[in-house]
C-alpha cells in the first residue's frame, strides 16, 4: 500500500468488520450525531451537569471500544506488534470514549426534555 486514501480505509474497515456490521455502525453513528445536533440546537446551550455525567462515562466507552475491536478482529493484546498497533488502539479508545460521551449526553437531554430558561442556569 503506497497511498492511504479514503477508498483504501473504507475497504480495510469493510474487510475488518464485514460490510453489514460496518455500515450498520456508520448508520448508528450518523443517527446519534443527528440527535446530538438536534439537542444542541434545541437547548441552545450545554448543560454542565449532563456534560459531567457524559465525561464520567468516557472510560467505559474507551474500554468497550478496545474490547469490541479485539473481539471482532479475533485478536488479543498479545498480538500487539509495535508502536503503530498501540497508536491505533489508543485511537480506538479515544473514539469509543468520545462516542459514548456524546451518546450519554444526548440520551440524557432527550429523556429529560428541554429545560426552561430559569432552570438552564442551574443545571
54 in Cβ contact with 101 (< 8 Å) = yes
Q: Write down the residue that cell numbers 428541554 correspond to.
A: 114
pLDDT, position 116: 59
Average pLDDT over residues 14-19: 90
C-alpha separations of 99 from 37, 42, 76, 115 in Å: 14, 20, 23, 24
Q: Each residue of 21-78: pLDDT tens digit?
A: 999 999 999 999 999 999 999 999 888 999 999 999 999 999 999 999 999 888 888 8
17 in Cβ contact with 72 (< 8 Å) = yes
The whole-model pTM stands at: 0.83
Amino acid at each position: 500500500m503506497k497511498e492511504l486514501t479514503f477508498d483504501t480505509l473504507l475497504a480495510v474497515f469493510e474487510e475488518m468488520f464485514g460490510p453489514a456490521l460496518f455500515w450498520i455502525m456508520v448508520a448508528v453513528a450518523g443517527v446519534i450525531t443527528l440527535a446530538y445536533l438536534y439537542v444542541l440546537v434545541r437547548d441552545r446551550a450545554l448543560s454542565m451537569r449532563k456534560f459531567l455525567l457524559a465525561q464520567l462515562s468516557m472510560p467505559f466507552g474507551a474500554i468497550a471500544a478496545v474490547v469490541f475491536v479485539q473481539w471482532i478482529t479475533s485478536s488479543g493484546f498479545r498480538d500487539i506488534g509495535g508502536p503503530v498497533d498501540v497508536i491505533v488502539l489508543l485511537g480506538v479508545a479515544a473514539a469509543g470514549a468520545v462516542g459514548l460521551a456524546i451518546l450519554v449526553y444526548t440520551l440524557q437531554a432527550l429523556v429529560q426534555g428541554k429545560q426552561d430558561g430559569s432552570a438552564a442556569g442551574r443545571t
